[in-house]
Amino acid sequence: MRSEAGLPVPAPSPTAETAEFWAATARGTLLLPRCDECSTVIWYPRVFCPACGSQTVSWIEASGRGIIYSFTVARRGMGPYKDAAPYAVAYVELEEGPRIMTNVVDDDPGSLEVGMPVQVVFHDTGEGSALYRFRRAGGGDR
Amino acid sequence: MSIRGKAYIVGAFEHPRREIPDRSLTQIHADVALGALADAGLSLGDVDAYFCDSGAGFGPLSMAEYLGLRCSIVDSTETGGSSYLAHVGHAAAAIAAGKCQVALVTLAGKPRSSFEGFRGFQGEATPESSFEGMWGINGAVTNYALAATRHMHEFGTTSEQLATIKVAASLHAEHNPNAFLPHAVTVEEVLESPMVSDPLHRMDCCVVTDGGGAVIVASPSVARDLARPMVKVLGHGETVKHTNNGRVDLTYTGAVWSGPRAFDEAGLGPADVDYASIYDSFTITVLETLEDLGFCDKGKGGEFVMDGALVAPHGRLPFNTDGGGLCNNHPGNRGGMTKIIEAVRQLRGEAHPAVQVPNCRIALAHGTGGSIATRMGSVTLLLGQEDA
């Protein structure tokens, strides 16, 4: 699969712990696990709270808003990304707290800046899941 | 209990080759094991402890058999490129506890000529692979570039400052006939080299080489009977820094924890260090590590490295006098072993005369493994001359 932006959309490999997370992405929803005991929002998704050790965790729906914590423009790619460069790999800091690795989709990735507000978009893998990526807040999904 | 003065590095050997298509991975392990034992004046029959990473077969089980060792202690702690510094620390602790007398630590890898020794997943992958594997990460450089971008954003660090680190390493590599990149480069040449992953250029990256190395760690009683200069293990600190439940901070490394532990055990501070082997997978790795070990304040690494500070023999902190991973050797994509070996050369007074630090009494060796932007092993060793 390829997104409108020309980026490949490799499918993840859901596990017993992450199946619900990935199924939600296919519906255009970014879920975050939150600890029932200490309310810590957890990333990466796992049914275990690394803050307190609890194994009771509930899913909450992320707002999808965040800011760029850091990014890099890959000038060449490998594997499925062989012909995709240049593209931006980033850590986006979500409103809910976690900094998550992702792509920021942009026509001119070199013009992105740390601190820039971004909004989640979903790119369907065709295998019952979607990749959560981000674009500049206020722009279109290019 | 402290390991200070309880163990000595008595042998060290760096494989002289950088591309080795004609020898197997286990042969290279044997090459470096025999080289380090010969350097020490010991033989395979003297070894009673063995340390290696997970790269060859079943790790120490396969290698102890291949090498014909009879061991009372084995350890295959796997923290990437920092593993071998951890092995030295663990060997010193085992010797201090009376568990063994002569520990052999080996590294071998062939990423330049083949995939032999490739370290793949065994069994079910841990979950991070599905949350990091889809974004087009090109190996380590993408991760280290993320750290560089953030460090530049918070502290105003520049590409010129990063390039200065490469230049210092290249000035040292000029004197190393085995160096993969034996020619001096300028800041301009670094900045004009192709951008690989902004803001890191090709010359901000280490070399990819085959090769390996080994060290022998021994008890004081064994060390005293050998002819070679004694290199005392003074302190060891290690840690794992990870993404901390999605609260990753890219501006520092695990050296903020491993460094103080090693300094405390040694009873030393950064100002006591005459020579430093600093892990240099990328220029940004060096810059953040220098700050984290306390050689300068956080955020001031860019200023610190200017004006020849890292250039031997007379810079404020001579570093990586073999040319480091940036220019000399990064065997098996793991630079930790060569960090130890060059520190041993400096303390013995056996570095190349052009880069030998005068009266080098205290050396620091620091290893980094894994990725600075996700999960990393950090290990710091403090080593000294016999009277240190």
List, in order of start, the domains of chain A with CATH numbers: 19-136 (2.40.50.840)
Q: Is B13 within a domain?
A: yes
Residues from chain B that touch A71, judged by Cβ atoms under 8 A, are 146, 149
* Residue A87 contacts residue A77 (beta carbons within 8 Å): yes
Report the candidate in B6, B346, B133, B42 with the shortest Cα–Cα distance to residue A10: B133
Nearest to A44 among B127, B138, B142 (CB): B127
Q: Does one domain contain both B29 and B91?
A: yes
Report the candidate in B370, B278, B288 with the shortest Cα–Cα distance to residue B319: B278
Task: Walk along chain B (388 residues) and give the pLDDT tens digit of each residue.
Answer: 799 999 999 999 999 999 999 999 999 999 999 999 999 999 999 999 999 998 888 899 999 999 999 999 999 999 999 999 999 999 999 999 999 999 999 999 999 997 544 444 444 577 888 899 999 998 899 999 999 999 999 999 999 999 999 999 999 999 999 999 999 999 999 999 999 999 999 999 999 999 999 999 999 999 999 999 999 999 999 999 999 999 999 999 999 999 999 999 999 999 999 999 999 999 999 999 999 999 999 999 999 999 999 999 999 999 999 999 999 999 999 999 999 999 999 999 999 999 999 999 999 999 999 999 999 999 999 999 999 8
A128 touches chain B (CB under 8 A): no
* DSSP per position, B206-241: PP-B-EEEEEEEE-HHHHHTSSSPPEEEEEEEEEEE
Residues from chain A that touch B199, judged by Cβ atoms under 8 A, are 72
Q: Is B107 within a domain?
A: yes
Q: Is B363 within a domain?
A: yes
CA distance linking residue B3 with residue A115, whole number of Å: 46
CA distance linking residue B383 with residue B234, whole number of Å: 5
Q: Is B344 within a domain?
A: yes
CA dihedral over B318, B323, B327, B333, signed as positive or negative: negative
Task: Give the three-state DSSP class for B50.
Answer: strand
Residues from chain B that touch A46, judged by Cβ atoms under 8 A, are 127
Q: Does one domain contain both B170 and B101?
A: no
Chain A residue nearest residue B132, CA to CA: A101
Q: Does one domain contain both B85 and B155?
A: no
Q: Is B130 within a domain?
A: no
Q: Which of B181, B199, B232 is the last residue of a domain?
A: B232
Q: Which of B199, B232, B265 is the last residue of a domain?
A: B232
Helices B283-292 and B255-266 cross at an angle (nearest 10°) of 50
Q: Is B258 within a domain?
A: yes
* DSSP per position, A5-69: TS-B-------TTTHHHHHHHHTT--EEEEETTT--B-SS--SS-TTT----EEEEE---EEEEE
Q: Is B127 within a domain?
A: no
Q: Which of B169, B197, B232 is the last residue of a domain?
A: B232
| Domain extent at residue B13 | 8-116+210-232
CB contacts < 8 A, A to B, total 116
Q: Does one domain contain both B223 and B340?
A: no
A99: β partners: A93
